[in-house]
Structure 1
């Protein structure tokens, strides 16, 4: 009998993703290659492993028995590579989703650092709103999402990479009391927010409800830069990352609006599936921890741009 790791890998991800196409996307292969490898595996074992159903691929009784063994085989392969092979040789192409704030601050540094540590790793960044990124992660369109939040379900591993103070801010021209605002007072002023796809809104949702924050929203946008412009123009109060917008505060374009209570720090995490068998994702999460920095770059400050 000649069963290969590639056949077991194709079988495992085709079943857990419920489709050849999703498995192919995850493994950077073709749909026909996934189908061919499983066909070869079925021929080697002499049993049918999957049913092709309208709702997707479903394992047969034999397939269910093989699923746990395939997972063990992939974990063993990673252990062999780590303990016997070239442990520092991590390679492959990975699609990593990041939010706009990360793209504007430390994404370039992450790419540079990974190139130094692991030259054989290739990253394909995807920039989008946090909830959209998580949907892509669920659909196996990306391998990792770095976004606000600490827990995304039992199927996912979340590694904290950094925190940022996300405070209420407004233009000094906006007429606000010179004291901390109570949660109920926010309903008296226009509040500008990022759109519903923002993971930050989900992160702060429970905290806002617990403390009775209610907003009379004037505008929502999926662009952080549009949100900045509207806030500087004096059109409302926004919740913004202190590190990134410190330059605007120093220039007098924005000011921190205190509240009682103040928002807790915003936690960013690298999120990926527990069933991933690649050391590369752990390496990417570690590098993200090391370079995470939400301050605006010197070139942005000098140019007065964001």
Structure 2
């Protein structure tokens, strides 16, 4: 039996369409259909219910998926056991939020090339919600993001590693907020409030502050950290972002921290499949090393290492 056919069925069950399965596996839709048909011929049963407009598996298909996951995990373990001394190699599809790009992604890429030159890193930068959708569809091997993740029902076992926390603060140009005292909700309502995309946890926290006030504040959401930083530097609004993003501007006095209603920290986590390749696991481990080094060099009140970050 061809294990590639089993992998195709597992992906199909997870993403729910032949088109997306073809995208995940870098194949044509016709090739994916043919693999499933060949697997059905090998087993002598129908695995996909083709009588419904929406793709679904038959009872035999669902049972086969569970067995196929075990077989694929055993195959992966077997290959790793036959080459225990081989260096990690292969492609790793890493998804990261832009906050990671602005802080420690560059050192990670550089160190990975130095220590594991046979690993090919394929990076996707997007919002946490979009990354989570790609991860569920198995278009990513390793995801670094900041929002709670709810795995799909029946999905395979996941490994989640807490890397660090970014403190969130109110930040503005001194000319926009001339007073030195902490900002009240009434004062914040007088300004545009800049933060991450509408679907992000920081945006939800900002909105929650005003839930009982009856007046919708002017919250401006941006998927791009660079856009938020540029606007607040230009004097437009008050930003709710990690101050570690604007260390130089704060040090020079161009921007300043403003007291005000406290905001929860952003917790950055890395997620991968528990049974994955040595290349993915090596990338995850090096990520922990890089985050630990970054946290040591940064302002301790602004970024805090968690259990998954450890010194190199």
- Equivalent-residue separation in structure 2 for 1:180 and 1:145 (angstroms): 36
The corresponding residue for 1:304 is none
Q: 1:48 aligns to what SS in structure 2? A: coil
Q: With structure 2 as the length reference, what TM-score do the two structures score?
A: 0.78
- Equivalent-residue separation in structure 2 for 1:237 and 1:121 (angstroms): 41
State the Cα distance separating 1:259 from its structure 2 match: 2.1
**Counterpart mapping for 1:1-306 below 5 A:** 3-52=1-50, 55-86=53-84, 88-153=86-151, 155=155, 157-202=159-204, 204=205, 208=209, 216-217=217-218, 219-260=220-261, 262-272=262-272, 277-292=276-291, 293=294
Is the 8 Å Cα contact of residues 26 and 141 (structure 1) preserved in structure 2? yes
Closer/same/farther in 2, CA of residues 282 and 46 from structure 1, 3 Å limit = same
Closer/same/farther in 2, CA of residues 215 and 31 from structure 1, 3 Å limit = same
Unaligned runs of 5+ in 2: 299-312
The corresponding residue for 2:304 is none
State the Cα distance separating 1:256 from its structure 2 match: 0.6
Is the 8 Å Cα contact of residues 164 and 266 (structure 1) preserved in structure 2? yes
- Equivalent-residue separation in structure 2 for 1:214 and 1:92 (angstroms): 53
Where has structure 1 moved over 6 Å in runs of 4 or more?
209-215
- Equivalent-residue separation in structure 1 for 2:115 and 2:19 (angstroms): 32
- Equivalent-residue separation in structure 1 for 2:218 and 2:64 (angstroms): 53
Number of aligned residue pairs: 291
State the Cα distance separating 1:178 from its structure 2 match: 1.6
State the Cα distance separating 1:201 from its structure 2 match: 2.2
State the Cα distance separating 1:47 from its structure 2 match: 2.1
When structure 1 is superposed on structure 2, of 219-228 and 230-239 the one drifting more is 219-228
Closer/same/farther in 2, CA of residues 282 and 241 from structure 1, 3 Å limit = same
Q: With structure 1 as the length reference, what TM-score do the two structures score?
A: 0.80
State the Cα distance separating 1:176 from its structure 2 match: 4.3
Is the 8 Å Cα contact of residues 24 and 34 (structure 1) preserved in structure 2? yes
- Equivalent-residue separation in structure 2 for 1:112 and 1:188 (angstroms): 44
Closer/same/farther in 2, CA of residues 278 and 147 from structure 1, 3 Å limit = same
Q: 1:216 aligns to what SS in structure 2? A: coil
Closer/same/farther in 2, CA of residues 286 and 74 from structure 1, 3 Å limit = same
Is the 8 Å Cα contact of residues 25 and 140 (structure 1) preserved in structure 2? no
State the Cα distance separating 1:184 from its structure 2 match: 5.0
- Equivalent-residue separation in structure 2 for 1:270 and 1:139 (angstroms): 17
State the Cα distance separating 1:134 from its structure 2 match: 2.4
- Equivalent-residue separation in structure 2 for 1:209 and 1:84 (angstroms): 59
